Amino acid sequence: MHRRDLLKGLGLTAASLAVPGCGNALSRSTKSGAGRKPNFVVIFCDDLGYGDLGCFGHPTIRTPHLDRMAAEGQKWTNFYVGASVCTPSRAALLTGRLPIRSGMCSDRRRVLFPDSAGGLPQSEITIARALKPHGYATAAVGKWHLGHLREYLPTSHGFDSYFGIPYSNDMDRVAGEGRKAFWEPKTEYWNVPLMRDEQIVERPADQETITKRYSEEAVKFIKAKKDEPFFLYLAHNLPHVPLFASDEFDGTSRRGLYGDVIEEIDHGVGLILDTLRDEGLAENTFVVFTSDNGPWLPYNEHGGSAGLLREGKGCTFEGGMREPTILWWPSKIAPGVVHDMGATMDLYTTIIKLAGGQPPADRIVDGLDLSPALFGTGPSPRDTMFYYRGTQIHAVRKGAFKAHFITKSGYRRDKRVTHDPPVLYNLEHDPSEKYNVAKDHPDVIADIRAEVTRHTQALVKKEDQLAKRIKKE
């Protein structure tokens, strides 16, 4: 079918689908100008649960800016991360590849630590590095967690600048009493560094003001780069425990300190979107909001909520890997609620293609181009998702069905259980993963097993980056 006929069938015109940077940009009155490549802003939270935003059903946390972003853009209800803990999830987003392909997951240590000698290998091509040849200004603000040694830092991976804490905000613990330190956190308990490019500029980083300062840094970058295409990766350290909010937000949410933190992040999102509007950049900027993994449940009220999804951070139930995701691009993407599947790895491919590039052809890239779903021309191309824990496949989703081959909670002391046949859930009927329907669908299980075989046959073993430690003198 000719493209014109296809568009007519969908009730669309070529102009309504125009994407800047793809050779058919709309003329517009803003100073962003016709034909300019689109800007990209990815806002990535840490340990935010599926149920922690107003627009995803939280009954007391107020997120007016994210709610508006969702109303103007797309709210994705089946959007996944590449792993249920920080380091591998971040590697998946920035490389478009399951972390098993880069060595950024391990069965020995789940994430990188301050004594880690490894990090994201130079052979990986981050979104930032892929965008540089297309003339993009790039900045990373916030948590990195892909290696804190120089060769692994953002400035060694395609980012022009970096401002942030290079790993989790609960590392480098030097004081405080047991878990009480988390219930009544003080900045001085965690001696984490705050870095500007490759230099430590503050230690311990003042965590009470960190969310506010990250948002301000993001706004500053957008204003400074408004006349050139830019990619901003803003990865908040929070709401990962220990929780901190600035004076303006501390004690203001009905949800307690966790709510204060989310409402401060929401406020920052508002500042960023207002800046894009005020600078005339909104209609040329694709903004994504999501999180690296689900809520950290052992921290009780200091952890978030996965809403109706089962379990949380650290495991392969939905609560660990399905994230509250909002995509925003006024006048470009079709507003609405999207029930199709998507994944952070898809942002890699989608963003690079929108910038006029192509994902690297010399390796397997797991990311798919979400443009059809974004621009209303068709469904999301994603119908399968692999759920890894470390280097092992624990579950696979295909279409509505998810097969669990191995189950274990995130952090409870339950046993790892292998299932043969796998436990099968219909996630469209049963998003809370309660009712095993394996007996009724042997054909679905056979199909999923075939997917696993195809997938594992194409895997190439990589050096475990997370197990390497800095040698003590």
DSSP 446-473: HHHHHHHHHHHHT------SSS-BPPP-
- Please report how close the Cβ of residue 398 comes to Mg ion at its closest, in angstroms: 26
Give the H or E element holding residue 233.
Answer: strand 230-235
Half-sphere exposure of 70 (CA within 13 A, CB side): 21
Mark residues 254-273: x for contact with Mg ion by CB under 5 A, - for none: --------------------
The interface region with Mg ion, picked from 47-55, 220-228, 450-458, 463-471 by CB under 5 A, is 47-55
Among residues 87, 126, 284, 293, the one that binds Mg ion under rule CB under 5 A:
293
242 three-state secondary structure: coil
- Please report how close the Cβ of residue 330 comes to Mg ion at its closest, in angstroms: 29
The whole-angstrom separation of Cα 289 and Cα 435 is 31
323 near Mg ion (CB under 5 A): no
Known catalytic residue: 315? no
15 three-state secondary structure: helix
> By C-beta, is 25 or 86 nearer to Mg ion?
86
Spatial contact of 205 and 111, defined as CB atoms under 8 Å apart: no
The interface region with Mg ion, picked from 38-46, 123-131, 202-210, 352-360 by CB under 5 A, is 38-46
Spatial contact of 96 and 367, defined as CB atoms under 8 Å apart: yes
The whole-angstrom separation of Cα 141 and Cα 221 is 10
The interface region with Mg ion, picked from 43-51, 62-70, 131-139, 300-308 by CB under 5 A, is 43-51
> By C-beta, is 21 or 410 nearer to Mg ion?
410
Q: What are phi and psi of 198, to 5 degrees?
A: -105, 5
47 near Mg ion (CB under 5 A): yes
- Please report how close the Cβ of residue 350 comes to Mg ion at its closest, in angstroms: 22
292 near Mg ion (CB under 5 A): yes
The interface region with Mg ion, picked from 98-106, 112-120, 285-293, 375-383 by CB under 5 A, is 285-293
46 near Mg ion (CB under 5 A): yes
Buried b (16+ CB within 10 A) or exposed e, 440-455: ebeebbeebeebeeeb
Residues 402-441 that bind Mg ion (CB under 5 A): none
- Please report how close the Cβ of residue 40 comes to Mg ion at its closest, in angstroms: 21
Known catalytic residue: 86? yes
350 near Mg ion (CB under 5 A): no
- Please report how close the Cβ of residue 184 comes to Mg ion at its closest, in angstroms: 22
> By C-beta, is 47 or 346 nearer to Mg ion?
47
> By C-beta, is 46 or 263 nearer to Mg ion?
46
Spatial contact of 20 and 230, defined as CB atoms under 8 Å apart: no
104 near Mg ion (CB under 5 A): no
- Please report how close the Cβ of residue 403 comes to Mg ion at its closest, in angstroms: 25
DSSP 342-410: EEHHHHHHHHHHHTT----SSS-------HHHHHTSS--SB-EEEEEETTEEEEEEETTEEEEEEE--S
The interface region with Mg ion, picked from 39-47, 117-125, 195-203, 227-235 by CB under 5 A, is 39-47
> By C-beta, is 86 or 368 nearer to Mg ion?
86
The whole-angstrom separation of Cα 177 and Cα 239 is 21
> By C-beta, is 46 or 311 nearer to Mg ion?
46
The interface region with Mg ion, picked from 28-36, 275-283, 284-292, 463-471 by CB under 5 A, is 284-292
Catalytic residue selected from 45, 58, 65, 86: 86
- Please report how close the Cβ of residue 118 comes to Mg ion at its closest, in angstroms: 18
- Please report how close the Cβ of residue 86 comes to Mg ion at its closest, in angstroms: 4
CA-CA-CA-CA torsion sign (420, 421, 423, 424): positive
- Please report how close the Cβ of residue 468 comes to Mg ion at its closest, in angstroms: 21
> By C-beta, is 36 or 109 nearer to Mg ion?
109
DSSP 156-177: GTT-SEEEE-SS-TT-SB-SS-
- Amino acid symbol at 110: R
> By C-beta, is 235 or 374 nearer to Mg ion?
235
SS (H, E, C) 278-318: HCCCHHHEEEEEEECCCCCHHHHHHCCCCCCCCCCCCCCCH
DSSP 19-79: -TTTT-PPP-SSTT-TTPPPEEEEEEESS--TT-SGGGT-SS---HHHHHHHHHSEEEEEE
Edge-to-edge strands, sheet with 137-142: 199-202, 194-196, 161-164, 137-142, 230-235, 39-45, 285-291, 325-328, 74-80, 336-343
Catalytic residue selected from 145, 236, 267, 302: 145
> By C-beta, is 111 or 130 nearer to Mg ion?
111
Name the residue number minimizing CB distance to Mg ion: 86
The interface region with Mg ion, picked from 206-214, 253-261, 286-294, 405-413 by CB under 5 A, is 286-294
Among residues 69, 86, 265, 423, the one that binds Mg ion under rule CB under 5 A:
86
Residues 114-173 that bind Mg ion (CB under 5 A): none
The whole-angstrom separation of Cα 368 and Cα 185 is 41
And the tokens for 6?
């296809």
Q: What are phi and psi of 63, to 5 degrees?
A: -130, 65
- Using CB under 5 A as the binding criterion, the count of chain residues that bind Mg ion stands at 5
Applying CB under 5 A, which residues contact Mg ion?
46-47, 86, 292-293
By annotation, the residues acting in catalysis are 86, 145
